Amino acid sequence: MTLFFQVAKGIELANEIFLIVAASIYYHEDNYEAALKILHNAESLELRAFTLQCLLAMNRPDLARKQLKLLQDIEDDSTLTQLAQAWLNLSQGGPGVQDAHYSIMELSERLGALGPGPAAVGAAAAASRGMWEEAEQMLSEAQVRAPQQPDLLLGLAVTAAHSGKAPEVFNRYIAQLLDSHPDHPFTKEHNAKTNEFKRLAAQYQPSVPS
């Protein structure tokens, strides 16, 4: 029985965990439209936040802004609503980056340790403002609790490159990411580019006379 059939027949509509898992499958396959169909009748805070995340991935900040308003109407001061607002602000760039940075710092002060997701958002905001050491610190603290989380590894590689660390540090994080997460978008893109380079290089290798 397909996911769409179960949702269309209303079989699992009351099961929020099912909807999140089903939408996550499509989201991680970059099939955002399918994920949105799963989340179409979402009313809870968690499902609406996921809807906002899908819309940002589709580069639809206009629709994401409407979802944020719905989130604020449900619970304006919830952690998830504030995190969703930080996602939206960061995606908009400009003054929104500073707002996203402040939002994550407020969450950090209130909650203490940040999970990988909020830490990655906060680090991206800090990095966008040229605050590379702060970005690295946020990522490193989160990595203690999630050593192999791919977005943290990628973020740490970027901060290492921008903060003057030895090339070996950058290479170590990238190697961890490539080895531990073969299905991550960065890994797939990296491998595709590497194979393409090898193919092109082979075309220009000097032929050795027999």
Residues 4 and 58 in one domain: yes
- Average pLDDT across the chain, whole number: 87
Indicate whether 124 belongs to any domain. yes
Is 70 exceeded by the pLDDT of residue 138?
yes
Contact call for residues 102 and 74 (beta carbons, < 8 A): no
- Of the two residues 188 and 12, the one the predictor is more confident about is 188
**Count of CB atoms within 10 A of residue 76's CB?**
10
Residue that is last in its domain, among 66, 85, 100: 66
CA-CA distance, 208 to 210, in Å (whole number)? 6
Residue 67 has which token pair?
A: 């979802």
Which pLDDT belongs to residue 43?
Answer: 84
CA-CA distance, 155 to 159, in Å (whole number)? 6
Residues 178 and 123 in one domain: yes
User: Residues 172-201: what's their mean pLDDT?
Assistant: 93
Rounded to the nearest angstrom, the gap between the alpha carbon of residue 9 and the centroid of all alpha carbons in its chain is 31
Of 38-52, 68-82, 195-209, the range with the lowest mean pLDDT is 195-209
Which pLDDT belongs to residue 126?
Answer: 92
Domain count across the chain: 2
CA-CA distance, 195 to 183, in Å (whole number)? 16
Could you tell me the pLDDT band of residue 2, with boundaries at 50, 70 and 90?
Answer: low
Indicate whether 13 belongs to any domain. yes
Is 50 exceeded by the pLDDT of residue 1?
no
User: Residues 103-127: what's their mean pLDDT?
Assistant: 85
Encode pLDDT of 6-30 as tens digits: 555 554 555 788 888 889 999 988 8
Contact call for residues 84 and 50 (beta carbons, < 8 A): no
Indicate whether 31 belongs to any domain. yes
CA-CA distance, 200 to 47, in Å (whole number)? 45
Encode pLDDT of 150-164 as tens digits: 999 999 999 999 998
Is 70 exceeded by the pLDDT of residue 204?
yes
Which pLDDT belongs to residue 202?
Answer: 87
Residue that is last in its domain, among 51, 66, 81: 66
Is 70 exceeded by the pLDDT of residue 4?
no
CATH number of the domain bearing residue 122: 1.25.40
Encode pLDDT of 47-102 as tens digits: 999 999 999 999 999 999 999 999 999 998 888 899 999 999 999 888 889 888 98
The alpha carbon dihedral of 69, 112, 165, 177 has a sign of negative
Indicate whether 43 belongs to any domain. yes
Indicate whether 101 belongs to any domain. no
Indicate whether 7 belongs to any domain. yes
Give the percent of the chain with pLDDT over 90.
54
Nearest to 69 by CA among 79, 59, 57, 81: 81
- Of the two residues 145 and 14, the one the predictor is more confident about is 145
DSSP label at 112?
S
| Residue 38, domain extent | 1-66
Residues 119 and 61 in one domain: no
**Count of CB atoms within 10 A of residue 23's CB?**
26
Q: Which residues contact 27 (CB under 8 A, 6 or more apart)?
A: 35, 50, 53, 54, 57
Indicate whether 117 belongs to any domain. yes
Nearest to 67 by CA among 126, 163, 21, 57: 57
Indicate whether 193 belongs to any domain. no
Which pLDDT belongs to residue 160?
Answer: 95
